[in-house]
Structure 1
C-alpha cells in the first residue's frame, strides 16, 4: 500500500447512495460525414468535455453509417433514434441530416503552427497521416530511430531526424511526443517545455515519472502540457477525473487501465491457455513483444499515478505501488476477472490487483482492449468513462484532440 501525502476529505454519512452524475450540457452538431474521421473527431472532443451529443449527419443516405463506424473505431458508442424516439437515450445520438452540409465561413487567417512529431510507430504514424493532410499545420520534423528505413505512412523528404536536439532546433511551436522510450521521452518533453514549446504526449511512463515537476516547468516556460492520450487511449479518463474534482473532493478511483491484460483475461475466461491468450493479444496488436510492463501491472500503475495527480494534486510513484502480476501460473479469482487499479483516499490504498467483477455493470462486460473508469466524490457522486484503451485509431484520436484544443485556446 502507498500512503497518500494529502489530508483526507471529510467522509460522507454512512449509507450515502452512489448517484450517477448526469448534469452534462448537450452539444448539437451538424456534421459533414463525407469526412467521417473529421466529423467523428468533432463528436469525440465534445464527449471528452463531458457533453452529451446530438449529431446531425449530412452527406447522403449512408452518412449516419459512416459517422457511426468512425466513432466505433475510436470507441465512442452512438445510438440512432427512430423518428419520434427521444434523442438523449445515450451519450451520443446520430440523426440523419440533409444531403449537403451547410457551408461555413472560413476563420480569419492566422499563423500556421509548426509541429514536430517524436515517434512514427503505431500511434505516431496515425497522427502523421492527419498532420500531412491538414493545412492547419506545418510539420517541421519527425524523430525516428532510423531515418533511412521505409515506413507507412512515408515521411516526406527532409523531415526524418534521429537527433532530439536537431528536432527542437527546427523551432516548433508544438511537440507531439509519441515514442515508447520513457527516458528519451521525458528528456524531450523537459527540453521542449523549458524552451516554451507546447507539448502533447501519449507517453504515460514519461509523463507519470514526475508530473508535478513537468507542470511547474511548463508554467515557468510559458508552455502548455497536454497528456490525455497517456491514459485510456480514446477513453476520456483524465477529463472525467477533472470533472469529478471540479464537482467535489475525489475519494476513490477504480479503473481498468491496461487493454492488453483485459484482452488476455477475457480469453482466459473463455478457456484459452495463457500462452495462447498472449499470442492472440500480440496478433491483435495489443501486446508488445515484451509485455512485462503490462503483465506486471507497471503500465496500469503509471496511469493510476497520472489519474491520482489529477484527482489529488499529490505525487505517487508507480514503482512503489502494490502490484499483482498476471502470468501462466497466476491463480485467478473465480468469475469474470479484471486487472483493477485502485486509489482510495480514505484508506490510503493505491494498488493494481486482479479482482472478480461479476455483477459490476461498468467492468463486467468490458470487451477486448477496452478501458473503464469509475470516480467517486465525497458526496457519493459517480463519474464514469469507457472506451478503447489501445490501438492506433483511439490513441491517435486522443492526441489529435489535445492538439486541436491547443490551437483553439
Structure 2
C-alpha cells in the first residue's frame, strides 16, 4: 500500500459557530487487494483530523469496495463523479490505476511483543489481526477459560488465565480488552509500573482512574493509549484534543452509548422496550447485563474521560447525574445526551429531546456523535459507529499501529 500525506491549507469558515474546516488534507494511494487494510490507512488519517482523498487502485469496483470497508468502521466516504470537487466532504474516494506503485522497502525491525488481555468481541477482533501482521509478535492471551472454543482460535501455548503469568512473558505492549473494570484497571497498573505500553478499550477501568494511570505512565516512560474506550470507531477523544489545542473548551455534548441509541431509535418507531433491548443484544451492542448502558454509567465513564481530555477536569463517575432508560422513556426524538459545562464542572447524562439538532437527531443505531465548543465559538464535531467489533477493533488497531510506527 502506498500512502502519500499532504498538508494543504484549507480556509476556515467565516462563521465562527460553524464546524472547523481548516483540517489538512491527506492524499492516499491505496492497493484494494486488502480492503480492510486500505480502510485502516484512511481511518488513521481521519482520526488525526485530516480530510482524505483516497485513490483506490485495483478493479473497476475498487472505490465502492473501499467505501464499503470504511462504512463498516463508521467512516462516511463520498464517491464524487468525474469533474466534481474532491474536498467537499471528509473523505473522498476516486478510482486509480489497476496496479498501485510498489511500497518502498522498509528496514527490518524487531516486531512488537504484544500481550492480549480478553478475547471477547473486541479482543477476538484484535487477535485475528495480530496473527496476520508481521509487525507484531503475539506472546500470550489472557482468558478466563483457555479451553473455550472461539471464532478466532488462540494458537497453542498462548492462552493463559493468570495475569501475572501474562506479564511475566515480558511484552512490549499490553492490549487490554477486559469487560471487568477492577480486573482491567489492576492489569493496566501492573503493566504501566513495569514500563509496558498499554492500549485499552476498557472505559470503566480508564475512566475511573485516568489521572492516576496517566501519572503512572509518565513516571515509568510507558504510553497509555485508550481511544477505543470512548466512541468505538468514532474519533471522539482525538476531536476533543484538537479542540483543546485550538483554545479553551467550554462545553462538551455527546451521544456516547450505542446500546441506548439503538433502543431509543426503536422506541421512536413504536417498538416495545423489551423487544428493542433484545434487538440490541442480537445486534451485538448490548451485554447480557445492560445495566451500565441503561443507567447511564457507561456514558458517564466516557464523559469523565472526555472532561479530563478537554478541560483537565477530574470528574468522579459516580458524581455525574444520570437518567435511567427504561420502558417509561420519553417518546419522540430522544437521545441519552452526555453534557459538560467546563466552567462550572457540571456534568450529566440525561434523556433529552434533540429534535432539530442535525448532529444528534439522525444518528443511526449504534452511532455516536460529539460536539465540542471552544471559548471563541468554534465548534468541533465527530460522528461514527460507537459499538461493535469492527469499529472498536479498528480504534485499538490504530493505537497499536501508532506504537509500531514510533
Partner residue in 2 for 1:166: 165
Structure with more contact order per residue of length (Cα contacts < 8 Å, sep ≥ 6): 1
Shift of 1:328: 1.3
Q: Say whether 1:142 aligns with 2:145.
A: no
User: Which whole-Å CA distance do the structure 1 matches of 2:76 and 2:121 have between them?
Assistant: 23
Partner residue in 1 for 2:248: 249
Per the alignment, do residues 274 and 219 of structure 1 end up closer, same or farther by CA in structure 2, a change over 3 Å counting? same
CA contact (8 A) 1:255 1:342 kept: yes
CA contact (8 A) 2:16 2:377 kept: yes
Shift of 1:348: 3.4
Shift of 1:17: 5.4
Shift of 1:61: 1.0
Partner residue in 2 for 1:396: 393
Partner residue in 2 for 1:23: 22
User: Which whole-Å CA distance do the structure 2 matches of 1:149 and 1:302 have between them?
Assistant: 30
Shift of 1:349: 2.2
Matches within 5 A, 1:339-354: 339-354=336-351
SS state at 1:20 partner: coil
Q: Say whether 1:53 aligns with 2:59.
A: no
TM-score (norm 2): 0.95
Higher alpha-carbon deviation: 321-330 or 26-35: 321-330
CA contact (8 A) 2:256 2:338 kept: yes
Q: Say whether 1:232 aligns with 2:231.
A: yes
User: Which whole-Å CA distance do the structure 1 matches of 2:290 and 2:347 have between them?
Assistant: 22
Shift of 1:105: 1.4
Q: Deviations over 1:3-39 (max 9, x none)?
A: xxxxxxxxxxxxx952321110000000001110100
CA contact (8 A) 1:140 1:159 kept: yes
SS state at 1:95 partner: strand
Q: Deviations over 1:284-328 (max 9, x none)?
A: 111111100000000000000000000111211111110011011
CA contact (8 A) 1:210 1:315 kept: no
TM-score (norm 1): 0.95
User: Which whole-Å CA distance do the structure 2 matches of 1:384 and 1:259 have between them?
Assistant: 17
Partner residue in 2 for 1:7: none
Q: Say whether 1:369 aligns with 2:366.
A: yes
Partner residue in 2 for 1:5: none
Matches within 5 A, 1:4-403: 18-330=17-329, 332=330, 334-403=331-400
User: Which whole-Å CA distance do the structure 1 matches of 2:196 and 2:42 have between them?
Assistant: 28
Higher alpha-carbon deviation: 278-287 or 300-309: 278-287
Q: Deviations over 1:182-204 (max 9, x none)?
A: 00100000000000000000000
Q: Deviations over 1:345-379 (max 9, x none)?
A: 23432000001101101001000000000000000
User: Which whole-Å CA distance do the structure 2 matches of 1:159 and 1:93 have between them?
Assistant: 41
SS state at 1:180 partner: coil
Q: Deviations over 1:260-290 (max 9, x none)?
A: 0000000000001111111111111111111
User: Which whole-Å CA distance do the structure 1 matches of 2:18 and 2:71 have between them?
Assistant: 28
Q: RMSD over aligned Cα, in angstroms?
A: 0.9
Higher alpha-carbon deviation: 144-153 or 17-26: 17-26
User: Which whole-Å CA distance do the structure 2 matches of 1:403 and 1:37 have between them?
Assistant: 16
Shift of 1:236: 0.1
Shift of 1:151: 1.1
User: Which whole-Å CA distance do the structure 1 matches of 2:161 and 2:344 have between them?
Assistant: 47
User: Which whole-Å CA distance do the structure 2 matches of 1:144 and 1:40 have between them?
Assistant: 29
Shift of 1:180: 0.2
Partner residue in 2 for 1:10: none
Q: Deviations over 1:102-152 (max 9, x none)?
A: 101121111111000000001100000000001111000000000111111
User: Which whole-Å CA distance do the structure 2 matches of 1:161 and 1:319 have between them?
Assistant: 33
CA contact (8 A) 2:227 2:395 kept: yes
Count of equivalent residues = 392
* Unpaired runs of at least 5, structure 2: 1-14
SS state at 1:30 partner: strand
SS state at 2:138 partner: strand
User: Which whole-Å CA distance do the structure 2 matches of 1:166 and 1:381 have between them?
Assistant: 49
Higher alpha-carbon deviation: 309-318 or 260-269: 309-318
SS state at 1:342 partner: strand
User: Which whole-Å CA distance do the structure 2 matches of 1:163 and 1:35 have between them?
Assistant: 36
User: Which whole-Å CA distance do the structure 1 matches of 2:356 and 2:328 have between them?
Assistant: 26
